[in-house]
Amino acid sequence: MKPKKLNQVTDFDLKLLKIFKTVCDCHSFTSAESILGISRSAISLHMSDLENRLGVRLCQRGRAGFALTDEGREILEYIEVLTASIEDFRAKINQMHHTLKGEFNIGLINNLVTMQSEYITNTLAQLAEENTEVVINISMCTLSDIECRVLDNRLHAGAIPLVTPLSSLDYFELYSENSFLYCGKNHPLFNHLHEINSSDLKNWKAVLPNYAISPEAAKLHQLLDCSATASDREGIAFLILTGKFLGFLPDHYAKKWVEDRVMQPILQNKIHYSTPICLITRKGKNQNMILKTFMDMLKNKVAH
């Protein structure tokens, strides 16, 4: 498409950008119909208008399905930054009127919902109950994604395992998460754990996380024959349940499978590690009222 210079951003442009982001979140025009309340053909026209307005091709659509172009992915990142800036502006206006109204964006790593200490769940409940005009948006992300989004203001806060602290972030410890080595019910070690020691573990295939882990966890994985990888804890659980692989999981996440007798910890008195789970916020940033209120509520719950 012919490059164009964007002289000003109008209300209509913002509307088109919002439609484009919704389509991206839904991964198709069809799925976005019910959310946007307009037809697929209308969405297609709006996308064409936006492409003409920006002078770039944003996405491929047709029988092969919906796919973002490189320019489309870049525009989507700009939209997220723009949205965060607008929300920051609204938060500052809230501070002027001492009213909690707006969005609270928090990023969480997967599977924290099974933690026994429900600090985040209970704090979100209190925030929603006491501030009905606050919209809570939760994003399930990887550790690095959460760090990046907190740093560039797309997220107000995030809950992550403490692996390598960043100087630009503040960390507030919530939990200590304990992880153990597990096998599935069809694994040769199931119900025969008394017959092995840690030096025998390399005799069986295991799963290595391909996300950041602590030095303590990395050292324990060196005891294993890590011939498979997984991008998250759910992937590790899938492979453990095949009965072909060993893998580390947090005990709160593995609890249901252990109780159902389809998973079993191995050498749990010797092979385990602990990871702090922290809530991160951007250091030095003037907190908006919603984030400050959330943090005050959270710290009060942890203290008691």
Please, are residues 203 and 225 in contact by the beta-carbon 8 Å criterion?
A: yes
pLDDT value for 299? 94
Residue 115 included in any domain: yes
pLDDT value for 281? 96
Mean pLDDT, residues 5-33 taken together: 86
Instruction: Look at residue 286 and tell me whether its pLDDT is greater than 70.
Output: no
Q: State whether 168 and 230 are in the same domain.
A: no
Residue 264 included in any domain: yes
Closest CA to 141 of 112, 170, 171, 104: 112
Looking at the structure of the chain, the number of domains it has is 3
Mean pLDDT, residues 20-37 taken together: 88
Mean pLDDT, residues 16-20 taken together: 91
Give the domain extent around 38.
Answer: 11-78
Residue 40 included in any domain: yes
Instruction: Look at residue 78 and tell me whether its pLDDT is greater than 70.
Output: yes
Percent share of the chain, pLDDT over 70: 95
pLDDT in tens, 210-232: 988 999 999 999 999 999 999 99
Q: State whether 167 and 247 are in the same domain.
A: no
Instruction: Look at residue 41 and tell me whether its pLDDT is greater than 80.
Output: yes
Q: State whether 297 and 168 are in the same domain.
A: yes
pLDDT value for 4? 65
Q: State whether 103 and 187 are in the same domain.
A: no
Give me the CATH number covering residue 137: 3.40.190.10
pLDDT value for 53? 87
- Stretch among 76-85, 131-140, 282-291, 293-302 having the lowest mean pLDDT: 282-291
Q: State whether 187 and 265 are in the same domain.
A: yes
pLDDT bin (cut points 50, 70, 90) of residue 97 is: low
Give the Cα separation of 276 and 286 in Å (integer): 26
Instruction: Look at residue 86 and tell me whether its pLDDT is greater than 80.
Output: yes
Query: Domain ends where: 78, 104, 130?
Result: 78
Dihedral of CA 280/283/288/289: which sign?
positive
Query: Domain ends where: 50, 78, 106?
Result: 78
Q: State whether 60 and 136 are in the same domain.
A: no
Instruction: Let me know the angle formed at the C-alpha of 117 by 115 and 122, rounded to the nearest 5 degrees.
Output: 105
Dihedral of CA 20/22/25/30: which sign?
negative
pLDDT bin (cut points 50, 70, 90) of residue 296 is: very high
Strands (E), 145-296: 157-161, 169-184, 205-209, 225-230, 247-250, 263-266, 272-282
Instruction: Look at residue 59 and tell me whether its pLDDT is greater than 70.
Output: yes
Q: Please, what is the angle between helix 40-54 and helix 29-36, to 10°?
A: 100
pLDDT value for 293? 93
Residue 2 included in any domain: no
pLDDT bin (cut points 50, 70, 90) of residue 96 is: low
pLDDT value for 233? 92
H runs (alpha helix) in the chain: 11-26, 29-36, 40-54, 70-97, 119-130, 143-151, 215-221, 233-241, 251-259, 289-303
**Residue labelled with tokens 């502006």:** 89
Query: Domain ends where: 27, 57, 78?
Result: 78
Residue 6 included in any domain: no
Give Cβ neighbours of residue 76 (< 8 Å, ≥ 6 apart): 20, 21, 24, 68
Give me the CATH number covering residue 54: 1.10.10.10
Q: State whether 105 and 72 are in the same domain.
A: no
Give me the CATH number covering residue 232: 3.40.190.290
Q: State whether 92 and 161 are in the same domain.
A: yes
**Total Cβ atoms within 10 A of residue 126:** 16
Residue 86 structure tokens: 């607008």
For the chain, what is the mean pLDDT?
A: 89
Residue 252 included in any domain: yes
Residue 4 included in any domain: no
Mean pLDDT, residues 230-248 taken together: 96
Q: State whether 148 and 286 are in the same domain.
A: yes
Give the Cα separation of 245 and 187 in Å (integer): 8
Give Cβ neighbours of residue 90 (< 8 Å, ≥ 6 apart): 101, 102, 103
Q: State whether 206 and 267 are in the same domain.
A: yes
pLDDT bin (cut points 50, 70, 90) of residue 156 is: very high
Q: State whether 170 and 293 are in the same domain.
A: yes
Residue 37 included in any domain: yes
Q: State whether 232 and 141 are in the same domain.
A: no
